A and B are shown apart, each in its own frame.
Chain A
Amino acid sequence: MALDQGLIGRSYPPSAVYEVGRQKIAEFADAIGATDAVHRDTGAARAAGHPDVIAPPTFAIALTLSAAGVVVADPDVALDYSRVVHGEQRFTHHRPIRAGDRLVATPTIEAVRTVGGNDLLTTRVDVATEDGEPVCSATSMLVARGTS
Chain B
Amino acid sequence: MSAGVRAADVAVGTELPEQTYPVTRADLVRYAGASGDLNPIHWSDRVATAVGLPGVIAHGMLTMALAARAVTAWAGDPGALVEYHVRFGRPVVVPDDDTGARVTVRGRVAALGEDGRARVDLTVTSGGEKVLSLARATVQLA
Q: How far, in whole Å, are A38 and B87 apart by their CA atoms in the complex?
A: 28
Q: How far, in whole Å, are A27 and B82 apart by their CA atoms in the complex?
A: 22
Q: How far, in whole Å, are A50 and B88 apart by their CA atoms in the complex?
A: 32
Q: Which of B30, B84, B134 sits near A57, CB closer than 8 Å?
A: B84
Count residues of A near B (Cβ-Cβ below 8 Å).
34
Interface with A: B5-13, B57-65, B117-125, which one? B57-65
Instruction: Name the prevailing secondary structure of the B interface residues.
Output: mixed
Q: A38: which B residues are within 8 A, CB to CB?
A: 1, 77-79
CB atoms of A30 and B82 under 8 A apart: no
A91 interface hit (Cβ, 8 Å): yes
CB atoms of A93 and B51 under 8 A apart: no
B101 interface hit (Cβ, 8 Å): no
Residue of A nearest to B134 (CB): A88
Q: How large is the interface on B (under 10, 10 to 19, 20 to 34, 35 or more residues)?
A: 20 to 34
Query: Using a CB-CB cutoff of 8 Å, which residues 35-52 of chain B contact chain A?
Result: 35-37, 51
Name which of A65, A66, A85 has the most chain B CB atoms within 10 A of its CB. A85
B56 interface hit (Cβ, 8 Å): no
What mask results when residues 69 to 95 of chain B are scored 1 for a CB within 8 Å of chain A, else 0?
100100001110111111110000000
CB atoms of B60 and A86 under 8 A apart: yes
CB atoms of A56 and B88 under 8 A apart: no
Interface of A toward B, CB cutoff 8 Å:
27-28, 30-34, 36, 38-39, 44, 47-48, 50, 54, 56-58, 61-62, 65-66, 82, 85-93, 95-96
Interface of B toward A, CB cutoff 8 Å:
1-2, 21, 27, 30-31, 33-37, 51, 60-62, 64-66, 68-69, 72, 77-79, 81-88, 134
